[in-house]
Amino acid sequence: MKYFNMLTITGLLTAIFLLAGCAGEPATAPPAQDTPTPDTRSAEERQEGDPDDVLLGATAAPTPIPVTPTATPKPPPPTPNPRPTATPAPEATNTVESKPLTELVEIPGGVFTMGRDDGADDEGPAHEVDLPTFYIEIFEVTNAQFAAFVNDTNYVTDAEQTGSTGWRGYYIQGKDNQPAVKVSWNDATAYCDWADRRLPTEAEWEKAARGPDGNLYPWGNNWNADNANVKESGFRGTTQVGSFAAGASPYGVFDMGGNVWEWTADWYQPYPGNTVPDDFYGEKFRVVRGGGWFDEPDQVLTVNRSSTSPKAANDDIGFRCAADPE
């Protein structure tokens, strides 16, 4: 059938040509077609994307479409637990020359058991300590209170002396009643001197945190992340002092677990009867207690001990003052 069609078409073209010749008119030959220039490039060269890549009668190489990989979904940040109604820091309940100081609570004198035998090496042995009556601030020292001290004395913190913004960099709008951080042991001591107070000893701090029953956490012996500003709580920074009423110690002292580590007066030394060596013991590092806003349950224990340089200024270390009876 193909051949028949081709012969028929050829015959018709011949007849038309002869008739045209008979009429005295020159026959018009069909225009010659350009012969394509062979493409001698390699396949790799034809994929470079220049205009010559597309040839007549040839199928152009497809343009690769970049494939955007599907991003692996990241887990959402932890949702902070609902913050309890905050207990505001008292306005100058106790004043020294009208200085805005935090209220003190009395810790009765007597013997208590410090440390434990089944914990970290530096937490033991458990031993009895007889303390006289003392007072301790119910809240950590706040940004507003530390600012009052600085404004009154023109004090320059250790961090600022090294060129850092120090505590000022963390004292932003809305953080008046959050604990002052980036303050060294030296800075905390200077504040307490200004307030006619002092840093608590390590034993005083532990007694105020444990209460008469020797709690492992300020609120009891069972871990509960709802009772403190810690890593598991999800805040990822300091919170207003007194925000966790359920986490207060039996003596009514707030934030002794979490929020910020707190300076104590003592050097980091072994307890009496502790023979386990530790390179950090001596008069090199000051004890900090209580754990901070990014710590695990073990760091928040009332018996947990840590230490650092007296000039250290971290964003999770603050302090509170103590006082002796008048």
Q: How confident is the model at residue 326 (pLDDT cuts 50, 70, 90)?
A: confident
Mapped onto helix, strand or coil, the DSSP state of residue 186 is helix
pLDDT digits (tens, 9 = 90+) for 61-109: 434 434 343 333 333 333 333 333 333 334 433 444 579 999 999 999 9
Domain borders along the chain are 104-323
Q: How many CB atoms lie within 10 A of CB 274?
A: 17
pLDDT digits (tens, 9 = 90+) for 262-302: 999 999 999 999 999 999 999 999 999 999 999 999 999 99
Whether residue 16 is predicted with pLDDT greater than 80 in this model: the reply is no
Contacts of residues 84-90 at CB distance under 8 Å and 24 or more positions apart, as own/partner, are 84/243, 84/244, 84/245, 84/246, 85/245, 86/177, 86/240, 86/241, 86/242, 86/243, 87/242, 87/243, 87/245, 87/254, 88/177, 88/240, 88/242, 89/139, 89/142, 89/145, 89/177, 89/241, 89/242
pLDDT recorded at residue 97? 53
Residue type, 300: V
pLDDT digits (tens, 9 = 90+) for 50-64: 333 333 333 334 344
Angle at the Cα of 131 (from 101 to 274), degrees rounded to 5?
Answer: 115
Beta bridge partners of 5: none
Give the fold, CATH level 3, of 104-323.
Answer: paralog of FGE (formylglycine-generating enzyme) (3.90.1580)
Mapped onto helix, strand or coil, the DSSP state of residue 86 is coil
pLDDT digits (tens, 9 = 90+) for 153-197: 999 999 999 999 999 999 999 999 999 999 999 999 999 999 999
Whether residue 13 is predicted with pLDDT greater than 70 in this model: the reply is no
pLDDT digits (tens, 9 = 90+) for 188-222: 999 999 999 999 999 999 999 999 999 999 999 99
pLDDT recorded at residue 246? 97
Comparing C-alpha atoms, which of 119, 111, 183 is closest to residue 147?
183
Whether residue 24 is predicted with pLDDT greater than 70 in this model: the reply is no
Read off the pTM: 0.72
Whether residue 1 is predicted with pLDDT greater than 90 in this model: the reply is no
Between CA 195 and CA 198 the distance in angstroms is 8
pLDDT digits (tens, 9 = 90+) for 107-145: 999 999 999 999 999 999 999 999 999 999 999 999 999
Contact, 112 vs 214, CB < 8 A? yes
